[in-house]
């Protein structure tokens, strides 16, 4: 085993393509130069198809959470009421951000491992017509659930004038997103997931409906004031110092994604999801999410006491230098999560499944060697 050959199979950060690493090593240029302005404006424009929007996409130097906070602080005021759809740890994060700004956050919760249904939000909104915004998580990485954003948007539009704000940090760029067609008002994401970059960039797009609210809203933010980003993007720049090297990398990422094409990217991720789920079933490991709502980018697995999830993770790291994710909050130590997004392809999935089988054998867990790999191969063969 080569010590420097780290294999990341977590829900982010994800592996970085060598082409992108090379692009980020370009000599530094002035962030207020004409050369950078041209690069920045073109790169922001190229992000639009992944959001499914004709609106501008804003790029800020910060983690995905900074964009979540931007979506909150620019649309709501202290004392406003919001509905937060909570199906795991990251839905809860939206609620905490709201509460930090004095916004009344009504949690609409489902058990971890379940998806939020349109019927649930319809019932809630009928009882709470004063709600000004609904927040949801597209892919809840803590549970491996993909919430039905298009259906939720339709339900919200039917029963409310509230803005619909979506955290798509852990799957945008790997799944369909039709922000304009679905009627979603704000979509946010980050750089270190399906966009195959290091952590450090966040992206946000807002609808015309959202902008009508934002323009009238007195933002409590300084760095996260969205109006400042809109003004600067019109001038092909940013209000504050951009992460120049990451923008170099983002331009290269978009080259790679455009070469493959979004429909093919989506199919590749769906295939890797199906291979992973077939393998876990063949190994008699419980899947947390139902097929209908299974995440395209991360699979959450529950050993249900047949072996210790942390023992598996430790063995994978020690023997194969492979990192998979553990559980969060009350699921810490109980489940494991396999990331399959970004710079990842079906052969990588076969690799991690094979290593999981060997690791299960080494920790004394019941396993039929080759069963998971065979099941995943059969899915791959049927796809080819």
Summarize pLDDT for 369-382 with one digit per residue, the tens: 999 999 999 999 99
Pick the more confident residue, 220 or 310.
310
Structure confidence at residue 346 as a pLDDT band (50, 70, 90): very high
Q: What is the pLDDT of residue 238?
A: 97
CATH class of the domain defined by 7-13+261-383: alpha beta
Please provide the DSSP assignment of 237-262 as one string: S-SS---HHHHHHHHHHHHHHHHH-H
* 18-258 and 7-13+261-383 share a CATH fold: no
What pLDDT digit, counting tens, does each position of 301-342 carry? Answer: 999 999 999 999 999 999 999 999 999 999 999 999 999 999
Distance CA 36, CA 41 (A): 9
* SS3 category, 359: helix
Range 28-39 average pLDDT: 97
Structure confidence at residue 291 as a pLDDT band (50, 70, 90): very high
Predicted model pTM: 0.97
What pLDDT digit, counting tens, does each position of 238-281 carry? Answer: 999 999 999 999 999 999 999 999 999 999 999 999 999 999 99
pLDDT higher than threshold 90 for residue 352: yes
* Domain 18-258 grouped into CATH 3.40.640.10: yes
What pLDDT digit, counting tens, does each position of 156-196 carry? Answer: 999 999 999 999 999 999 999 999 999 999 999 999 999 99
Residue 320's contacts (CB-CB under 8 Å, 6 or more residues apart) are 1, 7, 355, 358, 359
Here the tokens at position 101 are 């700004």
pLDDT higher than threshold 70 for residue 226: yes
Q: Provide the 8-state DSSP code for 330.
A: G
Q: What is the pLDDT of residue 89?
A: 87
Distance CA 243, CA 200 (A): 8
pLDDT higher than threshold 70 for residue 55: yes
Q: What is the pLDDT of residue 326?
A: 97
Structure confidence at residue 5 as a pLDDT band (50, 70, 90): confident
Query: Within a 10 A sphere around the Cβ of 223, how many other Cβ atoms?
Result: 14
Q: What is the pLDDT of residue 3?
A: 78
pLDDT higher than threshold 70 for residue 58: yes
- Structural domain spans, the chain: 7-13+261-383, 18-258
Q: Provide the 8-state DSSP code for 370.
A: T
Q: What share of the chain in percent tops pLDDT 70?
A: 100
Q: What is the pLDDT of residue 1?
A: 67
Closest CA relative to residue 122, chosen from 83, 92, 90, 75: 83
Annotated ligand binding at 337? The verdict is yes
Identify whether 198 is preceded by a cis peptide bond (ω within 30 of 0): no
Per the CB < 8 A criterion, the answer to whether 148 and 168 are in contact is: no
Closest CA relative to residue 78, chosen from 59, 99, 106, 56: 99
Q: What is the pLDDT of residue 384?
A: 77
Q: What is the pLDDT of residue 269?
A: 98
Structure confidence at residue 93 as a pLDDT band (50, 70, 90): very high
Where residue 74 falls (left for φ over 0; alpha for ψ -120 to 50; beta otherwise) is alpha
Here the tokens at position 68 are 């979540």
Produce one character per residue of 4-23: b if its CB has 16 or more CB atoms within 10 Å, e if not: eeebbbbbbbbbbbeebeeb
């Amino acid at each position: 085993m080569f010590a420097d050959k780290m294999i990341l199979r977590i829900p982010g950060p994800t592996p970085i393509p060598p082409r992108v690493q090379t692009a980020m090593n370009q000599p530094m240029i002035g962030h207020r130069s004409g050369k950078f302005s041209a690069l920045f404006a073109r790169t922001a424009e190229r992000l639009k198809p992944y959001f499914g929007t004709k609106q501008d996409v804003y790029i800020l130097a910060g983690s995905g959470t900074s964009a979540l906070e931007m979506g909150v602080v620019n649309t709501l005021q202290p004392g406003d009421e919001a509905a937060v759809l909570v199906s795991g740890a990251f839905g809860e994060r939206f609620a905490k951000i709201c509460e930090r700004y004095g916004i009344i956050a009504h949690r609409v919760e489902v058990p971890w491992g379940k998806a939020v249904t349109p019927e649930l939000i319809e019932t809630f909104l009928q009882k709470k017509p004063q709600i000004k915004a609904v927040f949801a998580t597209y892919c809840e990485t803590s549970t491996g659930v993909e919430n039905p954003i298009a259906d939720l948007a339709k339900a919200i539009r039917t029963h409310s004038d509230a803005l619909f704000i979506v955290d798509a940090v852990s799957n945008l760029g790997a799944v369909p997103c039709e922000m304009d067609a679905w009627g979603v008002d704000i979509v946010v994401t980050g750089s270190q997931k399906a966009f195959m970059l290091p952590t450090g960039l966040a992206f946000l797009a807002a609808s015309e409906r959202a902008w009508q609210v934002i323009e009238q809203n007195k933002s409590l933010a300084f760095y996260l004031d969205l109006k400042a980003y809109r003004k600067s993007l019109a001038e092909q720049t940013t209000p504050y110092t951009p992460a120049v090297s990451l923008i170099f990398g983002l331009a290269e990422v978009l080259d790679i994604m455009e070469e493959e094409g979004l429909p093919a990217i989506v199919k590749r991720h769906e295939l890797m999801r199906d291979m992973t789920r077939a393998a876990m079933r063949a190994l008699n490991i419980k899947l947390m999410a139902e097929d209908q709502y299974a995440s395209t980018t991360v699979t959450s697995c529950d050993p249900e006491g047949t072996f210790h999830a942390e023992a598996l993770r430790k063995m994978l790291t020690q023997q194969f230098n492979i990192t998979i994710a553990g559980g969060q909050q009350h699921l810490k130590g109980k489940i494991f999560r396999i990331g399959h997004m970004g710079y990842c392809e079906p052969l990588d999935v076969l690799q991690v499944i094979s290593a999981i089988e060997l690791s299960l054998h080494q920790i004394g867990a019941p396993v039929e060697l080759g069963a998971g790999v065979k099941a995943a191969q059969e899915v791959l063969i049927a796809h080819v």
